[in-house]
Amino acid sequence: MKLVLDRYAYLNSPLHRWQQGYKLVGLLSLIFAFAFIQNVWLLPIMILITCILFRLSKIPISFLIKRLRYPSWFILAVIAFLPFISGSTPIFQWGYLIIREEGCWDALLISVRFFCILTLSLVMFGTAPFLSSIKAMRSLGLPRVIVDMTLLSYRYLEELGEMLTTMQRAMRLRGFQAKSLNRRTLKVFAQLTGSILVRSYDRSLRIYQAMILRGYGSQGSSQKNYWKFEFSHNNSSLWGTIMAVLTAIFLVVLETILPSF
């Protein structure tokens, strides 16, 4: 189970050369602007911006598809019922089954925003080492406790995934086959989940105790300097951030002045 976001951080592209601190400001501005969009006429612009940035990042499309696979199932479950329950203008009716126009547009809007925001997030964290992203967020004002929690969660999610894979393999070797959803299968899955939670808690407690023994939580200057991110004078990074912020402002202005669909 691979959860590594910065697998392609070594590539050489304009997005990789964009300094991470400036990149966070620029791409987060676009992400917040995309979340603000409610007008379907602006969706092609969002898709165009997202495709251009993803193309410039040189990240393989297979990496994006693999990372969007599981979140897509969740968003599909959310939007699948919108055409049937949202709105009042029917476009198709078959008995009690009614597909409404407003629900279809809402489903399109949510799915496009979901795709664009997750793709920009992947570009933002996938074009630089994750530790550089953490340091940049800390320098931008993110509290140190949240920074530490984010880094530790990212670090040990993959280990939990490997633990789950090992336990599932052991269950199969002992003859367990989840061919149908019955009481016995649910009981086994519940025991598996409980075992993972207990092991996760035990490991997190040991890690925290080890961190305390190594001086975590002290007010020494070494910890403050460790999370320090240097914003070097890079004209290309600065101009890239300015263009991204101006694009985000432009989208928000268009959303404000354009009539709703």
Inter-CA distances, 179 with 154, 165, 167, 172, Å: 32, 18, 18, 12
pLDDT at 222: 46
**Confidence class for position 123, pLDDT limits 50, 70, 90:** very high
* Contact yes or no for 42/105 (Cβ under 8 A): no
Model-level pTM? 0.74
What gap in Å lies between CA 199 and CA 36, rounded to an integer?
Answer: 41
Quote the DSSP letter at residue 89.
-
Q: Residues 72-89: pLDDT tens digits?
A: 877 887 788 777 777 777
Contact 20, 131 (CB under 8 A): no
